[in-house]
Amino acid sequence: MKNTIVGMVAAAALTFGGAALAQEEESSNRVAAETDWSVFVEDDPTQCWVVSTPRETLNTRDGREVSVRRGEILMFVSFWPGQDRLGEVSFTGGYPFADGSTVTMQIGDSTFELFTDGEMAWAASPQDDQRIITAMKRGADAVLTARSSRGTQTQDTFSLMGFTAAVEDAEARCSG
């Protein structure tokens, strides 16, 4: 699974990272874009995912805003029909998360916790994934708050404009 996620991050980084358009079209497996979300499809094995970058980022330490270097900051919803994992929510903060920490996701009045492993965070169960996706379809933005292994608190705000269309597209492409 880690190699697949690394591939997803690399494909998304190519799309969002400012690469020349010609190079992007040759190397990207992006099949659609819906406002702030892009849809990707991989054929072997079949998997689909939607991904977005944050609209805003705030990094603080001891209550003060700080400048830090972070890698790609991305939120995903993935469909892996061959593994019967459909609609898996994940997040990479662009840094190693603090050991034993969780990421808090706020969507409107709903709050969710994601568990962390290295630079990735996931919902605890398929039921949590579905609750988060439902909230994302109804919400305007998702705010993810986390703590790095160096003690920096990060707050990343993702727009949910286009999320419903993107996730329904990916789900239809990878429905099994």
What does the pLDDT look like over 65-113, one tens digit per residue? 999 999 999 999 999 888 888 899 999 999 999 999 999 999 999 999 9
pLDDT at position 10: 46
Structural domains in the chain?
2-173 (2.60.40.1880)
- The answer to whether residue 6 scores a pLDDT higher than 60 is no
Asked if 50 and 75 touch (Cβ cutoff 8 Å), the reply is no
User: What is the rounded CA–CA span in Å between residue 129 and residue 171?
Assistant: 14
Residue owning tokens 């659609």: 32
User: What is the rounded CA–CA span in Å between residue 162 and residue 38?
Assistant: 9
Q: Whose CA is closest to 50, among 60, 36, 64?
A: 36
pTM: 0.84
What does the pLDDT look like over 47-77, one tens digit per residue? 999 999 999 999 999 999 999 999 999 999 9
Which tokens in the block code for residue 52? 């977005």
User: What is the rounded CA–CA span in Å between residue 169 and residue 105?
Assistant: 23
